[in-house]
Amino acid sequence: MANFKFAVLPGDGIGPEVMDEALKVLKAACDAEGHTLEYSVYEVGGAGIDKFGKALPESTLEGCRAADAILFGSVGGPKWEHLPPKEQPERAALLPLRKAFKLFANIRPGLLYADLTDASPLKKERIPNGIDIVCMRELTGGIYFGEKKTETLPDGRIQASDTMCYRTDEIIRIADLAARTAMKRSGKLCSIDKANVLETSVLWRKTVTEYVSKNYPQVELRHMYVDNAAMQLARDPNQFDVFVTENMFGDILSDEMAVICGSLGMLCSASLGEAENGCGHKFGLYEPAGGTAPDIAGKNLANPCAQILSAAMMLRYSFGQDALASRIESAVKKAVCGGVRTADIAFGKTPVGTKQMGQAVIENL
Ligand code: NAD
C-alpha cells in the first residue's frame, strides 16, 4: 500500500472536465489496491491569469515543488489570445514548468487500437492491427535552447540564427531512458538524427551507439536519418517500436505520429525530469497531447481517455506502479473497443459524453 502525492493542474477549456474523469479513475484503481491519493488542485494557464494575473502563479509552482509529480490538463484559449506572446498561457506556463523541473525527456506513446483504425488517415491495410509505438524526444537541449540572435550585416541585410548544441551527458540521459523503455517492450530501438549533415547528429549517433552497446547490449539499436524517418512513419509506422531523437526532430515527428494515430483525445504524454522524487522514481509532468479544445469545452463532449492514460503514465513513471498503470490502460482499451465512444472516435456508434466515458473506464477496471 502506497501514498501517491501529486499536484493537479487542470488548466482551461476541456482541461477541468477531462481531469475530473482521470481523478475518478485513479481513485477507483487505487482504492481497489489500498493505495491512497494525496493531491491539491492549482490554477494554471488562463485560469492562473484570471485569478492571479500570471499563467504560472507562485502558489502553483510551490504546490508542484511539494509534490512527486504533476498531472496537467491543457492551457490556453481565445480569451487570452490578445495577450503578448510571452504572456500567452502555453508559453508562460508550460515552458517555465519544463525549465523549473528540468523535464528533459518527453515520452509519447503512439497508440491506435485495431478497432479504431478508422481514426487514422493511413489506409487500413497499412495498419491492420492498429499502431503501437513510442516516441522519446529530448526536451531541454538542441536548437530551441541554443544561442539565438538577429543582426544587421555591414551591407544592411538582416540575418537571424539559432544555434543547435548538444553535450554527451544530454544525449546519454535520454539514450538511457530510451534503451530502458525498449527493453520493457520488444528490445528494438531506433535512433533518429541527421548525421550526414549535422555535427550535433554525428555526436548524437556516436554517443548513442557507444552508450547503448556498452550498457544495454541486449537492445537491438538501429539509426535512421530524420527525413527518411518522416517518410517511414507515414509508410509503415509499426516498423518502429521505440524511437529516440533530439528536440526539434522529436517535435515534428511526434506531431506526425499524433496525426497517424487518429484522435488527439486518445494520446497521452509524459515529460520526465532528472531528479528523483520522494518515491525514488522520476519526477514528471503528465498531460494529454491535445489542447483545450475550445470548440467543445464545457459541453460534456471531450474524450477524457488521453487524460486518463496520462494519469496511468504517472503511476508507471513517477510512482513505479507498472501493474496498476497497465490495469488502467487495459480498462480504457476494453471500454473503447467494447463500443463506448466519445464523438471524436464514434465512427457510426452513438457517442457518449465525457462523464459516461470515464464511468465506462471505471467499470472496466
Ligand atoms: P486542440 O488540440 O485544443 O483542438 C484541436 C481539435 O482536436 C479540436 O477540434 C478539438 O475539439 C479536438 N480535440 C482535442 N482534444 C480533444 C479531446 N480530448 N476530445 C475530443 N476532441 C478533442 O488544438 P487548438 O484548437 O489548436 O488549440 C486550442 C487551444 O489549446 C489554444 O489556445 C492552444 O494554444 C491550446 N493548446 C494547449 C496545449 C497544451 O496545453 N499543452 C497544447 C495544444 C494547444
Which ranges in the chain are annotated with CATH 3.40.718.10?
1-111+267-365, 121-260
Q: Which of 5, 54, 194, 333 is catalytic?
A: 194
Counting atoms of ligand 1 from 1, which one is nearest the CA of 294? 28
Q: What's the pLDDT score for residue 149?
A: 93
Q: Which three cell numbers stand for residue 363?
A: 467499470
According to CATH, the topology of domain 121-260 is Isopropylmalate Dehydrogenase (3.40.718)
Does the annotation mark 236 as catalytic? no
What's the chain's length in residues?
365
Atom 27, ligand 1: residue with shortest CA distance: 291
Question: Is 9 exposed, middle or buried (CB count within 10 Å of its CB: 0-12, 13-18, 19+)?
Answer: buried
End-to-end CA distance of the chain: 18
Residue 149 CA to ligand 1 centre (angstroms): 31
Which residues lie with the beta carbon below 6 Å from any ligand 1 atom? 14, 18, 74-77, 90, 94, 264-265, 287, 290-296, 302-303, 306, 344
CA 174 – CA 162 distance, rounded (Å): 22
Q: Which of 27, 144, 188, 355 is catalytic?
A: 144
Could you give the CA distance from residue 309 to residue 28 in angstroms, rounded to a whole number?
A: 14
CATH 3.40.718.10 is right for the domain spanning 1-111+267-365: yes
- Cα distance between residue 35 and residue 323, in whole Å: 13
Which residue minimizes the CA distance to atom 22 of ligand 1? 265
For the chain, 365 residues long, the average pLDDT of each consecutive 10-residue run is: 96 98 98 97 98 97 97 97 92 91 96 93 95 96 93 98 97 97 96 98 98 98 98 97 98 93 92 89 95 97 98 96 97 96 93 98 98
- Give SS3 for 83: coil
DSSP state of 351: P
CA of 248 to the centre of ligand 1 (A): 21
Q: Which of 292, 341, 352 to mutate to test the pocket of ligand 1 (most atoms within 8 A of CB)?
A: 292
